[in-house]
Every structure is written in C-alpha cells, then in structure tokens.
C-alpha cells in the first residue's frame, strides 16, 4: 500500500515537473509565450534536468525522498494532518530557500493577489477597517456605487446581506461585498448623525483603484494635480504600477498641460512596485529614445526595452521623489529618468529590489507560484538589486542626485505620510446624494470654507513645524524638489544637479 501511494505521488510530481518546464519558455513578468517559440534552455543540454539526463535521475531520487517523508507523516504522525496544509507548507519552505520575493499563493489568497496586480475587481467601492467589533468605512472610492450612494468615512456597516457585521473579519466582509458585476448587495449603514441604521442597496460594478493621485481633492472629490499654481508646478503621486497606471498618468498630464504646467514633481515614495510593463510605459512617456531597462536570467535570454519618440511628453523640468520604501518598478522609473538626465532624483536611497517575478498558474489558476526568473539593470547597465550581504557601500538601488539626498526623521516621515493619507480620504457626502448641485457647479460663495481635511496629531507625537499656507507638516524632500524646479524655471539661480555616477 505504501509503495502504491508513493508511486502515484511520484507520477504526479513528474507531471508537475513537465508543467514547470512549460513555464521556462515564458517571458519574465508577463506570463506570455516567447514570440519565437524557442525554449529558454538550449536543446540537447545533457545537464538540463530532463527526465533522461543524469540530472533528471538525481531529481527523481530527491522526489522519492520527499514523497517518502510525506507518506510517513501522513500515516504515522500522532494526530491526523491535513494533506493540503502539508503540501502548501512544503511549497512555502522550498520557495523560502530562494529569495524573499518568490512565493506560493494558495487558493484562499489568489483573488486578493489578482486584485493587487490588476487594481480592478467587481464590488461596491469602499475601504473598510475593524474598529473594535464594528466594521467602519475608511472612505468610499471616488466614482463607485458606494460613493454615489453617499456612504462616507465614519459610517458603520451593521449588516451585509442580512448577516450581522458585528465582529466580522475584513476578509469575510470583503467576500460578501464582492461579486458578479451587475448583481446587488444589501447593506445596513449606521451614520454618526442618524439614530437608526438605514438600508442601502448597491449594484456591484467594476471597481478600479486609482494608482495616480494628486496633492489634494477638489470640491468635487477629483484630484488637484497642480501644486504651485503661480509657478505652474504639477505634483503627481503614483501609489503602485498597475495595468492602468500609464493611462491614468496620461490623463493627469493632459489636465496639467491644459492648466499651463511648466514643471513636474513625480512622487514615488512608498511605491512598492508593480508590473514591469507598466513601469516601461511610464518611462516611455518621458524619454524619446534610448534604453529604458534590461533583464537577464539563468533560463531566459537577455531582453532590453527601448523608448519611442511618439507620445513623449514635453521637455519640462522634472524631479522624482523616492525614499527607502520605493522599490522594484519605482526604481526602474527613477533610475531610467536619472540615467537619461530627464529628471533629478530627490530624497533617500531606494529599497534595492531589482528582480523580476513570473507568475506561474497552478491547479488551473486556483493557485500560483510567484517565481523570480530574472534581474533587471538600469539603462547604464548598473545593478539595482540588493543581494544578501550587500552593505551601504555596494552598488544597488537608486541614489538621489548629489546634493539632493534628504533624510527624514521617523517622526517627520510618520507625520507627512499621515497627512498624505488623510488627503486621500473622501469625508463629505457627494452633493448629488444630498439633492444638491455638484460642488463644482456651485457659485464660489456657496463652496465650503475648508476643502482640505485636517489630520489630528497622534497622542505623544513630537511637535513638528507646519507650512503656514497649508497647515501640514513641512515636507523637506518635496520642498527641495520644488526649490530645484523653481530655479530651473528662472525663479532663482539654477544649480547644476550632479549627473549620477554609474549605479549611483
């Protein structure tokens, strides 16, 4: 019986080996077959690990060891063990030996993983959190069914589809509210100003999470991208690089150009990365020729991406803001613009994540492997990835231009980020939900006296200087970028920003 089970599992592993072999012929990060149809490994390689090679024999013997251990645990462990949990733990253990970015995504997490990659899902459009036993709305997402229905920050969801939301987990609440586009979900909402909860029916729609943000929201809750109206300096923040980021960025730039933009701050602080293709599209918007990025891996040929002149935005001065938490795709963009001297980089040295993960579907898409298959290099050929054992003197990441490295204290960084997050929230009910004209159509005298939310300073937080015109904590990194751009526009002596050394 033992050998029978062992044999069946070994056969399954051999089949799985063939499936992984198919993934070797895929392009990094895209999951698409290579255009020339060639295999990543040269044909006839005696040590390629195929079943008929010596390496393949060793592979088969190692699989037998694993399956024998699995069989012993399954039959003899002191308690009954879930085989699925054992296998998933084995997968996680195997991938943990590789690098911090290779991972196994189990069925329970695959939908959330896809949502993070796509920045798009079917739902009602609200951000929620647990406040004690209550499910509280952080903010509706602009333009979604929840926004149109007038749900707002501070409202508490008491019921979802007739089920009490008291004590419900965030994951369970999200599962109940997500669903097929066009279907309805029933909620009960308790607002602070109401005595009794009210019933709300929302029709699920495609929810696209904005990845391109401005400085603050206007009266109609759209983003204001013009930061300095007098000097005509725009500010665009990119939270992550999703499938629609380049499209959103083009729309923001078009709006800024209509307003007479003369310079731009591109804020990539706290941007963890995203899709390689999205980063390439963003770079291609700002440079008209030359290399954007290149990738190379053990089992994949070297690839390079070049910029194209059509669609390139004007040659206005630019500054890119990064910090230690800017990683991956945000490092591709900042390194590209720096190497082409299209923009200066201001802030702090980036994270140093220069590897490409290919998503390999398992179980017909019910789970997946996120596997590191290549590393990428900046246009000048220098390395970005911070390898184990690298220190501050080694070549990795993206450094600010000379004279533009601005470090923030922990207190400064927390206060600035808290103020930024507060400005992302929608705190007023949409005018249409209250039976009024949209705020953008009101006469100036009817507009609210305060359109920007103010954030309370956390208890025990150190007192920090605030900008007199906004009341926000002073952002020294942003101020340094603005100083450079104003000088470039002729509003002061223009210092030469030192061109970056290779890999710096």
Catalytic residues: 328, 339, 353
The owner of tokens 């998933």 is 88
| CB of 323 closer than 8 Å to CB of 267 | no
Q: What is the dihedral of CA 279, 281, 286, 291, to 10 degrees?
A: 80
Q: Beta 263-267 vs 223-224: how paired, if at all?
A: unpaired
| CB of 253 closer than 8 Å to CB of 309 | no
| CB of 501 closer than 8 Å to CB of 382 | no
Outline where DSSP puts E strands in 191-317. 198-203, 205-208, 212-213, 216-217, 223-224, 226-228, 233-238, 263-267, 291-297, 300-306
CA distances from 490 to 318, 403, 483, 485, 494 (A): 14, 19, 11, 9, 7
Q: Distance between CA atoms of 311 and 287, rounded to whole angstroms?
A: 10
Q: Between vectors from CA 255 to CA 282 and to CA 206, what angle results, nearest 5°?
A: 70
Closest C-alpha to 144, from 216, 255, 221, 219: 221
| CB of 431 closer than 8 Å to CB of 439 | yes
Q: Which DSSP helix (H) or strand (E) runs through 359?
A: strand 355-362
Residues 6+ apart with CB under 8 A from 387: 396
The owner of tokens 């040590």 is 47
And the tokens for 115?
Answer: 């949502």
Residues 6+ apart with CB under 8 A from 99: 355, 372
DSSP 448-465: -S--S--PPPPTTPPP--
Q: Distance between CA atoms of 26 and 33, rounded to whole angstroms?
A: 5
């Amino acid at each position: 019986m033992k050998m029978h089970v062992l044999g069946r599992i070994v056969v399954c592993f051999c089949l799985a080996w063939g499936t992984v072999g198919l993934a070797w012929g895929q392009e990094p990060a895209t999951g698409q077959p290579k255009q020339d149809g060639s295999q990543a490994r040269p044909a006839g390689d005696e040590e390629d690990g195929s079943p008929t090679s010596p390496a393949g024999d060793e592979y088969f013997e190692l699989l037998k060891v694993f399956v024998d251990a699995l069989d012993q645990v399954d039959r003899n462990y002191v308690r009954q063990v879930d085989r699925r949990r054992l296998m998933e733990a084995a997968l996680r253990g195997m991938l943990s030996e590789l690098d911090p970015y290779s991972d196994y995504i189990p069925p329970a997490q695959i939908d959330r993983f896809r949502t993070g990659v796509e920045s798009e899902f079917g739902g009602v459009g609200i951000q929620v959190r647990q406040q004690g036993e209550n499910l509280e709305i952080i903010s509706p997402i602009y333009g979604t069914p929840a926004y149109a229905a007038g749900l707002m920050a501070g409202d508490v969801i008491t019921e979802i589809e007739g089920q009490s939301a008291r004590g419900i987990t965030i994951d369970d609440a999200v599962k109940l509210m997500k669903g097929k586009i066009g279907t309805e979900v029933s909620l009960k909402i308790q607002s602070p100003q109401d005595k009794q909860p009210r019933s709300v029916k929302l029709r699920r729609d495609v929810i696209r999470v904005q990845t391109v943000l401005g400085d603050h929201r206007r009266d109609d809750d759209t983003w204001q991208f013009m930061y300095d109206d007098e000097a005509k300096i725009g500010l665009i923040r990119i939270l992550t690089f999703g499938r629609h980021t380049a499209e959103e960025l083009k729309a923001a730039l078009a709006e800024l150009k209509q307003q007479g933009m003369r310079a731009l701050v591109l804020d990539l602080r706290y941007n963890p990365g995203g899709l390689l293709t999205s980063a390439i599209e963003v770079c291609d918007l700002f440079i008209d020729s030359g290399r954007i990025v290149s990738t190379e891996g053990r089992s994949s040929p070297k690839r390079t991406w070049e910029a194209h002149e059509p669609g390139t935005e004007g040659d206005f001065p630019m500054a890119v803001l990064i910090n230690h938490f800017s990683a991956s795709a945000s490092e591709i963009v900042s390194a590209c613009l720096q190497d082409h001297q299209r923009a200066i980089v201001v802030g702090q040295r980036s994270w140093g994540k220069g590897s490409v993960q290919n998503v390999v579907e398992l179980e017909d898409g019910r789970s997946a492997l996120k596997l590191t298959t290549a590393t990428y290099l900046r246009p000048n050929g220098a390395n970005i990835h911070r390898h184990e054992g690298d220190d501050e003197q080694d070549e990795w990441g993206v450094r600010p231009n000379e004279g533009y490295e601005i470090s923030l204290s922990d207190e400064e960084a927390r206060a600035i980020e808290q103020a930024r997050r507060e400005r992302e929230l929608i705190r007023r009910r949409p005018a249409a939900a209250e039976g009024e004209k949209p705020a953008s159509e009101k006469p100036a005298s009817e507009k609210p006296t305060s359109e920007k939310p103010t954030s309370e300073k956390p208890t025990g937080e150190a007192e920090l200087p605030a900008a007199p015109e906004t009341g926000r904590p002073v952002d020294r990194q942003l101020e340094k970028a603005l100083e450079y751009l104003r000088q470039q526009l002729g509003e002061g002596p223009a210092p030469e920003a030192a061109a970056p050394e290779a890999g710096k």
